[in-house]
Structure 1
Amino acid sequence: MCNEVARRIALALIREDFNELKIPLRFPEGLPNLPATDSIRITDTTPIIRAAPDKEAEMVQRRWSWPGPTGKPVYNYRSEGRTLGNVAKGGRCLIPVDGFYEFTTAEDPRAKRKDKWLFTMTGAPFFCIAGLWRADPVVGEAFTMLTCEPGPDIAPYHSRQIVLMPREHWAGWIAGVVPAADLIAPTPAGTLTVVRG
């Protein structure tokens, strides 16, 4: 399961893409400082984009994962068989990144660590992962990334994939007006480029 992402994109680029899609992007907590980073991990804070009043969207920075019933972090969430609509004290969100990592058993049997693979969107400077956010009594507002069956680019590396929301569906996803089952699917072959991370 995805437990590390990269975000090296400038805020201006994210803003520009949302403007092109006619999705006004607000910053209710002020413009975030987004230093480029190759590593955002579970419990780190990173920007999410969610619905705001008046058919707009807002960018806020939130923690990745909330504590589950056993105390383990809920950082990935299976999407199959769920409606994933807007719920009380939470809802849908998008997580803008420009890469994510998966790990496989090391090819070298003497290696102490797993092999790390970086996935980026072919021909795009960044993309958005479909997620859910909620208010948690322990950690405050936090988000998780949705998962589904893997597409052909990811299947050789992992048995699940995070849900990459196509750009044309960003508005429908965060507004919660389109059924989740209509938007959640594995990515088609050739969508992702993979290199050793």
Structure 2
Amino acid sequence: MCGRYVLEGPVSRVQNFFDADLTETFDDYENGRYNIAPTMQIPVVRINRKGERVLIRHRWGLIPSWAKDATIGAKLNNARGETVHEKPSFRKGFKHFRCLIPASGYYEWQVPPQGSKARKQPFYISPTNVPFFAMAGVCEHWTDEATGELILTAAIITTQPSPELTYIHDRMPVMIQKENWKDWLEPKNQNIEVLRKQIASDNQVQAWPVGFAVSGVGKEREDSDKLIIPMGL
């Protein structure tokens, strides 16, 4: 799974890399975010109704259009690539509302050997050949019946890890390669079998252990570039 990730600024660098127009300001991401967690507002790349590629806010944690309330989103921050096309929560989004979720890297926690009293070791995983991952995502549009508010949400699609990462965890986000961005984002492209062929692991990655501060939650959750410094430095 992917439970925390990083997006380094400035926003203009993200915008240029993904060749996307801004729909709004992203001042909260201008200096980078180093501990992005589920339920936060995140920038995603989508195609709008005019056919333009845009960078737009979504809440991380997908809320299906049929959901009774928003609480289900806290459990749907990831979608398994093997079943995303058929699961009721995700299949509509996979067919009609795919996106790219920019990331400079993400964190994963290595489980200690059975019987060990050691803590789960966090690792930072980032691309080796480009400045950003283009994590595959699915989106949804949910309306709060109580307030009438339209809420845009997204989930990250995951798959089996590349061989370089199997020692850390048994899942990793799907990374869409640049040559496939156009086809992935195109809402009119609804060929499920063709789309599923893009759900693959990425071996152009590097990983190193980092400190335990990234594991904090709530008020104890830190957010600075110190979190991605290799452990021991």
Matches within 5 A, 1:62-101: 62-66=58-62, 71=72, 72-81=74-83, 82=85, 87=93, 91-101=97-107
Change (3 A) 1:87 1:67: closer
Which of 21, 45, 48 pairs up with 2:44?
48
Conserved? CA contact 2:4–2:38, under 8 Å: yes
Task: State the identity %.
Answer: 22
TM-score in terms of structure 2 length: 0.71
Taking the aligned partners of 2:9 and 2:116, their CA distance within structure 1 comes to 36
User: Partners of 1:118 and 1:62 in 2: how far apart?
Assistant: 24
Q: Which residue does 1:180 correspond to in 2?
A: 195
Greater helix share, 1 or 2?
2
Q: CA offset at residue 155 of structure 1?
A: 1.6
Alignment-derived partner of residue 103 in structure 1:
109
Unaligned runs of 5+ in 2: 145-149, 211-233
Once the two structures are superposed, the pairs formed by residues 103-122 of structure 1 within 5 Å of their partners are: 103-106=109-112, 109-111=116-118, 113-122=119-128
* One-letter amino acid matched to 1:195: W
Task: Count how many residue pairs are aligned between Structure 1 and Structure 2.
Answer: 188
Out of 123, 132, 136, which is 2:129 matched to?
123
Give per-residue Cα distances to partners, 1:88-133, cap 9 Å, x unaligned. Answer: 9x6001100100011012479444x310000000022112100011
Query: Does the CA contact (< 8 Å) of 1:47 and 1:61 recur in 2?
Result: yes
Rounded to whole Å, the distance in 1 between the matches of 2:81 and 2:13 is 29
1:193 counterpart residue number: 206
Could you say which structure has the larger radius of gyration?
Answer: 2
> SS in structure 2 opposite 1:15?
helix
TM-score under structure 1 length normalisation: 0.83
Structure 2 counterpart SS, 1:173: helix
